[in-house]
A and B are shown apart, each in its own frame.
Chain A
Amino acid sequence: MIFNLALTAILANKLRAFLTMLGIVIGVTSVILLIALVSGLQTYITNQIQGLGSNLMFVMPGRMGGARSPGGVQANRLVYSDTVNLRTKLGSEAEVSASIQRNATLKFGNKRDKDVSIFGVEANYPEIISIDLTSGRFFKQSEQEASRKVAVIGPTVVVNLFGTGQALGKPIDIAGTKYTVIGITEKKGSVFGMDQDNSVYVPFQTAQRQFGIDRLNTIYISAKLAENVKLVQDKSTAILKKRLSEDEFTIQTQEQTLSTISQITGVLTAALGGIAAISLLVGGIGIMNIMLVSVTERTREIGLRKAVGAKPKDIRNQFLVEAIVLSGLGGIAGIILGITLSFIIGRFFTTTIPWWSILLSFGFSTAVGVIFGVAPAIRASRLNPIEALRSE
């Protein structure tokens, strides 16, 4: 009954009710959308990293995840001899592979492809990190050691330089040096506008020589046995410590990387969700405003209801339920809109909608209705019936 009463009152002023609800709708939609985006990002990154193989760990320059100093501040001291050292000492326990990276412009004929990620990697790279080729092959150990100018290119590079034409065996220009295309990788897609397929893999020594780089971006270590991951990590740390100080490198296993990422996305979720929640709060103030107007407009009605036997709590509940119905309907509309938009955006970026984000935003919007509906409802319940009946 009390819900019918609230609906009747809301429907009596459709435009006003709609505008009032809009604040809540926008708030709930943005909460759901932002959470969907962040958790989609987390799911994507997690899948990517898990796809690399669970025995994997990364050696990176600088200190990461520690409280003492932020990463990247110290000069990078990771060099190729560290890779060789690790490979020799770990022996058959693990596969070790060095990697450097630069961005460069590619040319073929009069076609150009700008800002391509050039990865200088070793021949054993595909054994550590899965790279699927659609055609051609990866370079061999002998080609790496001979600093041969061969390249395995991503599908975006193929499209940009060759269109629909044949790429294998063609000479391409990477920052002024000619390379021969020997393989094409499978499509991976993009993360937040970063095209992962706009990349090229070339032999490590070739890249090192051409770009004059001696500092490494990453050393990949893959333990042969899953149960030895921790052991290999400890051994590698000990080996590197002989030459480098503790602050100059970090070894992170895949598991540790995942937990770092989930920490980051957790903070991101809280921050973005918090900002979106502010718009819910603003929506709540809108509801309070309109409920106060409504109480003033319906003073006579309140007086009449009291005269025919309504208790103060009846009047209070009537207006409170009205505010809750307003915010609740706004919440439901926001959930529907948020889910719809998440699906639409999901065609471009990965989005996942955790069930708790729906519960949270609906709960929050209803709570907003209660919190901001209480004051107008109490004001209504306290009106003096005589004065209320006398008002115009």
Chain B
Amino acid sequence: MALVKLSRINKTYNTGGIPFHALKNINLEVKKGEFLAIIGASGSGKSTLMNIIGLLDQPTSGIYELDGQNTACLKEGNLANIRSCKIGFVFQSFNLLPRTSALDNVAMPLIYAGVSSEDRHAIAKKALEDVGLGDKLGSHSNQLSGGQQQRVAIARALVNNPEIILADEPTGNLDSKSGDEIIEIFIKLNKAGKTVIIITHEADIAKNAERIIKIKDGEITK
């Protein structure tokens, strides 16, 4: 069974009275354990697609089933719960909290999952060690390099042991060496059984994935 199943998804924005079709009739299935790259130019609708898969946004029409569950009727609190335990986000701009240690950044999602504070630190420490930052637990984001910051962000995405890792241009703000290291981590995670969906506009990055989907003007072209 597909982990992510999108059927006839449309997303329309109404800006200034003119409807803008960000996504048109998207059908997509992602199996558990798959490594998928969604590639497209900026404005192609790939971020909208990721937001819908990540339950940050709701489609205008169509059905999205996550792990067999129709997500259309879920309330905001339920959506937050699903994001908390099934989805890990990695953003282009890292989005680490300023003036907060790497450990506390990684432990943050666990607060909302209701994990006790002793367990939070142990889990976060383990996640940081897994991405090779066992020696940077107390460092603040401004003391870390871009690549290190993104690894903290990946550790943060992993702490709740999610089904899917959703990465939106994860290497977009990094030099190619750090970018390669980050991609290595995603490959390793995928080998360990995680479903990974990477959104990128770089073909080089996408070629690491098992499957590549091209999106153009809100439609899947390949």
Contact = CB atoms under 8 A, between A and B. Distances in A.
A308 B84 contact: yes
A312 B98 CA distance: 22
A12 interface: yes
Contacts of B51: 386
Contacts of A107: none
Contacts of A385: 56
A1 interface: yes
Contacts of B99: 8, 12
A169 B95 CA distance: 91
Contacts of A312: 76-77, 80
B35 interface: no
Interface string B75-115: 01100110111000101000101111000000011011100
Contact of A306 (B80, B111, B117): B80
A8 B100 contact: yes
A215 interface: no
Given A12-B99, A312-B76, A312-B77, A307 B56 contact: yes
Contact of B80 (A8, A309, A389): A309
Contact of B83 (A12, A309, A313): A309
Given A311-B76, A385-B56, A386-B57, A305 B108 contact: yes
Nearest to B94: A304
A389 B153 CA distance: 14
Contacts of B80: 306, 309-312, 314
A186 interface: no
A304 B83 CA distance: 11
A259 to B, nearest CB: 57
Interface string A1-16: 1000000100010000
Most chain B CB neighbours (cut-off 10 Å) among A301, A306, A311: A311
Contacts of B40: none
Contacts of B160: 308-309
B170 interface: no
A interface, over-half SS: helix
Given A304-B97, A305-B112, A309-B112, A1 B76 contact: no
B156 interface: yes
A63 interface: no
A308 B57 contact: no
Given A1-B111, A386-B51, A309 B81 contact: yes
Contacts, number: 59
B155 to A, nearest CB: 12
A300 interface: yes
Contacts of A303: 95
B81 A307 contact: no
Interface in A288-323: 300-301, 303-314
Nearest to A13: B99
A259 B76 CA distance: 60
A12 B99 CA distance: 7
Interface in A313-341: 313-314
Interface in B166-212: none
Nearest to B114: A309
B54 interface: yes
Interface in B25-44: none
B91 A314 contact: no
Nearest to B57: A386
Contacts of A8: 99-100
Interface string A173-199: 000000000000000000000000000
Nearest to B111: A1
Contacts of B83: 306-309
B81 to A, nearest CB: 7
A301 B94 CA distance: 11
A79 to B, nearest CB: 82
Given A300-B95, A310-B112, A389-B91, A1 B117 contact: yes
Nearest to B80: A311
Contacts of A314: 80, 111-112
A304 B112 contact: no
Given A8-B100, A385-B56, A386-B51, A308 B85 contact: no
Given A1-B111, A8-B100, A389-B91, A307 B54 contact: yes
Given A307-B54, A308-B112, 10 more contacts: A1-B117, A8-B99, A307-B56, A308-B156, A309-B109, A311-B76, A311-B80, A311-B81, A312-B77, A314-B111
5 contacts: A303-B95, A305-B108, A307-B83, A308-B160, A386-B57
Those 3 A-B pairs whose CB atoms lie nearest each other, nearest first: A309-B84, A308-B109, A309-B112
Interface of A: 1, 8, 12, 300-301, 303-314, 385-386, 389
Interface of B: 51, 54, 56-57, 76-77, 80-81, 83-85, 89, 91, 95, 97-100, 108-109, 111-113, 117, 156, 160
